Amino acid sequence: MKSSYSTADLARILEVNESTVKRWADNGHIECIKTKGGHRRFTVGAVLKFAQENKITLPSLDVDVISDNDLHAHVVAGNISKLVPDLKRGALEGNADAVLSILRIGIASRPDLLRLYHELVFPPLVEIGNEWALGKVTVDEEHIATQTMKDAIVRLQAEVHQKPANGKTVLAASYEDDLHDFGLRCAANYFASEGWHVVFLGQMTPTTSLLHAIEKHRPQLVLLSLVVTNDEDRFIADVNNRILPAVNAIDATLDIGGANVTMRFAKRIPGISFTDSILRYAELAHAATKA
Last residue of a domain, one of 161, 187, 217: 161
Last residue of a domain, one of 161, 192, 213: 161
Domain CATH number, residue 135: 1.10.1240.10
What was the pLDDT predicted at 76?
Answer: 56
Task: Check whether residue 140 and residue 236 sit in a common domain.
Answer: no
* pLDDT tens digits along 90-117: 999 999 998 998 898 888 777 789 999 9
Task: Check whether residue 16 and residue 72 sit in a common domain.
Answer: no
Task: Check whether residue 177 and residue 240 sit in a common domain.
Answer: yes
Whether residue 126 is predicted with pLDDT greater than 70 in this model: the reply is yes
What was the pLDDT predicted at 70?
Answer: 54
Angle between helices 182-193 and 139-157 (to 10 degrees): 10
* pLDDT tens digits along 159-170: 888 889 999 999
Containing structural domain, residue 219: 169-290
Task: Check whether residue 68 and residue 152 sit in a common domain.
Answer: yes
Domains contained in the chain, number: 3
Q: Which of 107-121, 126-140, 211-225, 232-246 has the lowest mean pLDDT?
A: 107-121
Last residue of a domain, one of 118, 145, 161: 161
Task: Check whether residue 118 and residue 79 sit in a common domain.
Answer: yes
Which own/partner pairs from 230-238 qualify as long-range (CB within 8 Å, at least 24 positions apart)?
Answer: 230/177, 231/177, 232/264, 232/265, 235/175, 236/265, 236/268, 236/269, 238/175, 238/207
Total-model pTM = 0.80
Task: Check whether residue 63 and residue 47 sit in a common domain.
Answer: no
Domain CATH number, residue 214: 3.40.50.280
Task: Check whether residue 228 and residue 210 sit in a common domain.
Answer: yes
Task: Check whether residue 195 and residue 213 sit in a common domain.
Answer: yes
Task: Check whether residue 45 and residue 136 sit in a common domain.
Answer: no
What was the pLDDT predicted at 50?
Answer: 82
> Which has more confidence, 190 or 288?
190
Encoded amino acid at 256, one letter: I
Task: Check whether residue 50 and residue 28 sit in a common domain.
Answer: yes
Q: How confident is the model at residue 268 (pLDDT cuts 50, 70, 90)?
A: very high
Whether residue 73 is predicted with pLDDT greater than 70 in this model: the reply is no
Task: Check whether residue 112 and residue 214 sit in a common domain.
Answer: no
Average of per-residue pLDDT across 35-63: 75
Whether residue 39 is predicted with pLDDT greater than 50 in this model: the reply is yes
Distance CA 55, CA 40 (A): 23
Does residue 235 contact residue 175 with C-beta atoms inside 8 Å? Answer: yes
Tell me the residue ranges of DSSP E strands in 167-209: 169-174, 197-202
Task: Check whether residue 215 and residue 150 sit in a common domain.
Answer: no
What was the pLDDT predicted at 75?
Answer: 59
Q: How confident is the model at residue 143 (pLDDT cuts 50, 70, 90)?
A: very high
Domain CATH number, residue 6: 1.10.1660.10
